[in-house]
Amino acid sequence: MKKIINSLLLLLSLTFSYHSMALVKGADISWITQMEDSGYEFYNDWGYRQDVLSILRDHGMSAVRLRVWVNPSDGYYSSIDDVIIKAQWAKAANMDVMIDFHYSDTWADPGNQWKPSAWSSLSFEQLMGEVWSYTKTSLEALRNAGITPKWIQVGNETNNGMLWYEGMASNNMRNYAWLFNSGRNAAKEVFPDAKVIVHLANCHDNANFRWIFDGLQANDAWWDVIGASSYPTNAAGLSWQQANSQCLANLNDMVDRYGSEVMISEIGVPWDHPEAKTIVADMISKLRQVNQNKGLGIFYWEPQAYSWQGYTLGAWNPYTMQPTTTLDAFLE
């Protein structure tokens, strides 16, 4: 009996250890409604037509990431109503959801963090209030639709802050921190258990990460997770191997310096790159090496995008409309 009990305890210990180290694997699929409305179809590895979420699940993914724009130019795609539809699809597929607030009417990235047009004349104090109320109202709409996000990004690739010019970090780090806090406080009010993410591009750029997070910390900002974008083949002056290694070093520095959990919120490789699967598999392997087991997970950015708006870093073959072997990197 003692041997049986010891064996059971060992099994439980191994099971706990596995789950504590299990990475979340997922994809940003924000284009999916627009693609389907445009007549795009998707086929699985065996050549049968199938919905994208089922195909992603068959490749080891368990979560989706969805961007939110305030007033998109087409009036719908990436609006909160569009996001709710995709989030409900994810829930039906038993997948977790990350909500990614851009706080813009269009793409927010390191070179574009422009305020929504409806917020353009607001004072800084009014802007903080609008960030809080917009975040709260949007998340309440999700909650009312039966969605409970596991993660909430307050800003997208905020390498120099957000909501320019008021929230441009290089002009006023305090303003950026306070705008972030406004979104974070609203997120925690609606979903107190959701993890709030600060997301920066260029995972290999440790200096930028230190500058932003030192600034946020100095201005009393608080976050749960540091998210990073990693496009290894696009890292200027670096091989993909160097980009991945520098990304890991940066993530470890973030853990050691701030005690934060970390994740790759976006990764992408050219769909026809001969080493695409190897590149992504290497990044997944490196996430497992993050200090203190604080590497949470990795999200491929729009893997289903093929022949779509000029984007070439998806993981779908435009000729067969099937996944490339890149997605196999997400299988255990």
- Determine, yes or no, domain membership for 167: yes
* pLDDT reading at 5 higher than 90: no
Report the C-alpha gap between 257 and 49 in whole angstroms. 47
- Determine, yes or no, domain membership for 84: yes
Predicted local confidence at residue 22, as pLDDT: 87
* pLDDT reading at 18 higher than 50: no
- Determine, yes or no, domain membership for 13: no
Q: Using an 8 Å Cβ cutoff, are 216 and 180 in contact? A: yes
- Determine, yes or no, domain membership for 7: no
Kindly report, residue by residue over 101-157, the tens digit of the pLDDT.
Answer: 999 999 999 999 999 999 999 999 999 999 999 999 999 999 999 999 999 999 999
* pLDDT reading at 41 higher than 50: yes
Percent of the chain at pLDDT > 70 equals: 94
- Determine, yes or no, domain membership for 148: yes
Kindly report, residue by residue over 143-202, the tens digit of the pLDDT.
Answer: 999 999 999 999 999 999 999 999 999 999 999 999 999 999 999 999 999 999 999 999
User: Does 5 or 252 have the greater pLDDT score?
Assistant: 252
Mean pLDDT of the chain: 94
Number of folded domains in the chain? Answer: 1
Show the tokens assigned to 174: 């305090």
Report the C-alpha gap between 13 and 314 in whole angstroms. 38
Crossing angle of helices 206-218 and 173-190, in 10° steps, is: 80
Predicted TM-score of the model (pTM): 0.93
- Determine, yes or no, domain membership for 10: no
Supply the range of the domain harboring residue 216: 24-330
- Determine, yes or no, domain membership for 12: no
- Determine, yes or no, domain membership for 15: no
* pLDDT reading at 17 higher than 90: no
Rg (CA), the chain: 20
- The domain that contains 37 carries what CATH number? 3.20.20.80
* pLDDT reading at 3 higher than 60: no
pLDDT category at 332 given cuts 50, 70, 90 is: confident
What are the helix and strand counts (H, E) for the chain?
9, 10
The helix (run of H) or strand (run of E) holding residue 99 is strand 96-101
Kindly report, residue by residue over 201-249, the tens digit of the pLDDT.
Answer: 999 999 999 999 999 999 999 999 999 999 999 999 999 999 999 999 9
Give bridge partners of residue 311 from the DSSP assignment. 308
